[in-house]
Amino acid sequence: MKIGILIAGLVPYGAEMAAIRLAQGMKEMGIDVSILVTDAPPLIRVENVPVIPMLHGEKLNLFQEFLYAPLQYIRLRRQSV
C-alpha cells in the first residue's frame, strides 16, 4: 500500500509536525508513505520518509497551476513505480 500525505508547507508547527509523526509511524508499521509539500521547499528535515516538493517554492497563478498539473502527475507516477 502506498500513501501520500499532502501538506502545504513543512515548517516546525502543529499540523506539519503531526503529519511528520503520522508518516513516521506509518513507515515503522511497514507502510510505503511519502509527504507531498505544495507551497514552499521544506524547512525541516524528515528522517526515513521521502519528502516530495510539488511546486519547487514557486507561486503560480491558476492558469499556471492548470498547465503544471499534468507534469506533477507524471512526476508522482515516476516516483511511485
23-76 residue pLDDT tens: 999 999 999 999 988 776 677 888 889 888 776 556 677 777 777 777 777 777
Cell of 71: 507534469
| Per-domain boundaries in the chain | 2-80
Alpha carbon distance 11, 41 (integer Å)? 9
**DSSP string over 58-69:** ----HHHHHHHH
Query: What does the mean pLDDT of the chain come to?
Result: 81
pLDDT for the residue numbered 40: 67
pLDDT for the residue numbered 58: 61
* Under 8 Å between Cβ of 30 and 48: no
Q: pTM score, two decimals?
A: 0.71
pLDDT for the residue numbered 2: 85
